[in-house]
Amino acid sequence: MLEETVVGHHPAHAIELKSISKVYGAVPALLRTDLSVQKGEFLTLLGPSGSGKTTLLNLIAGATGPTTGAILLDGRDITRMPPRDRGIGMVFQNYALMPHMTVFENVAYPLRARREAAKAIRVKVTEALERVGLRGFEDRKPRQLSGGQQQRVGIARCIVYSPAIIMMDEPLGALDKNLREQMQGEIKRLHKDLGTTFIYVTHDQEEALNMSDRICLMSMGEIAQLGTPDELYFQPRSRFVAEFIGESNLISGRMDGRGQMLIAGDRSIAVPGGIPAEGAEMLVMIRPERVRICGIDEAVADDNSLSGEVASSSFIGGTTRVTIRCDNGLNITAKMMSDRSETRPQSGARVNLCWSSADMVVLEN
Ligand code: ADP
Ligand code: MG
């Protein structure tokens, strides 16, 4: 087949979406989106329910066609190519196994559909089951397996024909927390071993932070921010990103012209350098683990401080979350490593809290 050369294609990109959108009837599921997925990377689509994650996967897989735009796979336009010819593997949340078939036959299915020889099928199925730790389970039926084992079969069935891209849509959504964390590690290891491009969907921010090279955070059919886990956590662009990933204290105010921001209760705080001129309305964010609590008589070390009363204190094992109702009306949450109950901040106590302006992030809106 003659390969079509596409102008502007970057060879390091496995998938390129150009101005792709999807409208279902009157519902805009995905607004015009550009996205490049690099070869070999682990990219996660993260976002609340209904933000367009599955729609984006379905467009790449070819399960549905776009309303506008083009999809390139290794530089070739596949926008109108049938799903089977794209060489893209898919793992689903509900496993989608054939209940009447054995584990072996489920995993062999994509190879039989491609009319591979019996001997090659045996070798490849055995290797795929080995990779997911299911050797010896060949003759079982799906109902004789736990949820985690069924999803391993789903993964084996996906990797068995060496697809160029592997996509997983909330594959761990039906599993409990411990198993989910274990499987996160296994999927990461699989990605490293195979070196294949992974596009992974989850609504769980911790899963996304833990697993991804880059995260594409979606909101209402649009990309809210695309970047490494560090970038999304430490440099969130907007209020939505700051609130979706991790916990955040948001403070709004106005620049006073002397490098300080005027906030509630006629207080002013120092903000990071290089910010707008006098009168500008600002929204800034400080993470709870960057806020320190000290005694009301203790000297504060940082360039920002407020005093107030502990409104609530919750001990959640390794960390303790403390919410302070500040005298200027703001509620600020601080998070710290836990001490024993005698030394943890108690509700009603008067405290100072302080933080460094260097740890604050200026948000767009
Ligand atoms: P997510 O996977 O992030 O939860 P989806 O991509 O499934 O989100 O859905 C995005 C939006 O598109 C939602 O508003 C959803 O209701 C709508 N949608 C998805 N699939 C269809 C469909 N087949 N018909 C009509 N609306 C759809
Ligand atoms: Mg979905």
Ligand 2 centroid from CA 53, angstroms: 6
Pick the residue whose CA is nearest to atom 17 on ligand 1. 29
- Looking at the chain, the whole-number percentage of residues with pLDDT higher than 70 is 95
Reply yes or no on whether the pLDDT at 279 is more than 80: no
Ligand 2 centroid from CA 286, angstroms: 31
Pick the residue whose CA is nearest to atom 23 on ligand 1. 24
Asked if 186 and 172 touch (Cβ cutoff 8 Å), the reply is no
Over residues 325-363, the pLDDT tens digits come to 999 999 999 999 998 888 888 999 999 999 999 999 999
Q: Which CATH number fits domain 39-69+76-244: 3.30.470.20, 1.10.3210.10, 3.40.50.300, 3.40.1160.10?
A: 3.40.50.300
Over residues 145-174, the pLDDT tens digits come to 999 999 999 999 999 999 999 999 999 998
d(CA 167, CA 299): 53
Pick the residue whose CA is nearest to atom 18 on ligand 1. 29
Closest ligand to C-alpha of residue 168 is 2
Instruction: Tell me whether strands 350-355 and 267-270 are parallel, antiparallel or unpaired.
Output: unpaired
Q: Rounded to the nearest 5°, which phi and psi values hold at 31?
A: -85, 165
Determine whether the shortest distance from the Cβ of 324 to ligand 1 is under 6 A. no
Q: Rounded to the nearest 5°, which phi and psi values hold at 363?
A: -100, 160
Determine whether the shortest distance from the Cβ of 219 to ligand 1 is under 6 A. no
Ligand 2 centroid from CA 24, angstroms: 15
Per-residue pLDDT, averaged over 314-322, amounts to 94
CATH class of 249-363: mainly beta
Determine whether the shortest distance from the Cβ of 53 to ligand 1 is under 6 A. yes
Per-residue pLDDT, averaged over 107-124, amounts to 96
Is the Cα torsion angle 234, 19, 200, 222 positive or negative in sign?
positive
Pick the residue whose CA is nearest to atom 16 on ligand 1. 50
Reply yes or no on whether the pLDDT at 115 is more than 50: yes
DSSP 77-105: E-TTS-GGGG-EEEE-TT----TTS-HHH
Instruction: Specify the ligand 1 atom closest to the Cα of 49.
Output: 4
Per-residue pLDDT, averaged over 305-334, amounts to 95
In a mutational test of the pocket of ligand 1, which residue from 27, 46, 57 has the highest number of ligand atoms less than 8 Å from its CB?
Answer: 27
Instruction: Specify the ligand 1 atom closest to the Cα of 52.
Output: 6
Per-residue pLDDT, averaged over 188-200, amounts to 96
Determine whether the shortest distance from the Cβ of 93 to ligand 1 is under 6 A. no
Distance (Å) of CA 9 to CA 71, 73, 240, 347: 11, 10, 32, 59
* Radius of gyration (C-alpha) of the chain in whole angstroms: 25
Ligand 2 centroid from CA 169, angstroms: 7
Closest ligand to C-alpha of residue 169 is 2
Per-residue pLDDT, averaged over 105-118, amounts to 95
pLDDT for 9 equals 55
Reply yes or no on whether the pLDDT at 5 is more than 50: no
Reply yes or no on whether the pLDDT at 203 is more than 70: yes
Query: Residue 102's Cα: distance from chain center in Å?
Result: 34
Pick the residue whose CA is nearest to atom 6 on ligand 1. 52
pLDDT for 168 equals 97
pLDDT for 2 equals 43
Determine whether the shortest distance from the Cβ of 27 to ligand 1 is under 6 A. yes
Are 39-69+76-244 and 249-363 the same fold in CATH?
no
pTM above 0.75, yes or no: yes
Domain boundaries, the chain: 39-69+76-244, 249-363
Determine whether the shortest distance from the Cβ of 292 to ligand 1 is under 6 A. no
Determine whether the shortest distance from the Cβ of 49 to ligand 1 is under 6 A. yes
Determine whether the shortest distance from the Cβ of 54 to ligand 1 is under 6 A. yes
List of residues 6+ apart from 96 with CB closer than 8 A: 154
Reply yes or no on whether the pLDDT at 110 is more than 70: yes
d(CA 136, CA 116): 23
Instruction: Tell me whether strands 165-169 and 68-73 are parallel, antiparallel or unpaired.
Output: unpaired
Reply yes or no on whether the pLDDT at 139 is more than 90: yes
d(CA 109, CA 103): 10
pLDDT for 275 equals 65
Of 95-109, 262-276, 310-324, give the lowest mean pLDDT range. 262-276
Confidence band for 10, pLDDT divided at 50, 70 and 90 = low
Structure tokens at 41: 């990377």
Confidence band for 280, pLDDT divided at 50, 70 and 90 = confident
d(CA 75, CA 11): 7
Helix residue ranges per DSSP H, the chain: 53-61, 103-113, 118-131, 147-159, 177-194, 205-211, 229-234, 239-244
Reply yes or no on whether the pLDDT at 231 is more than 90: yes
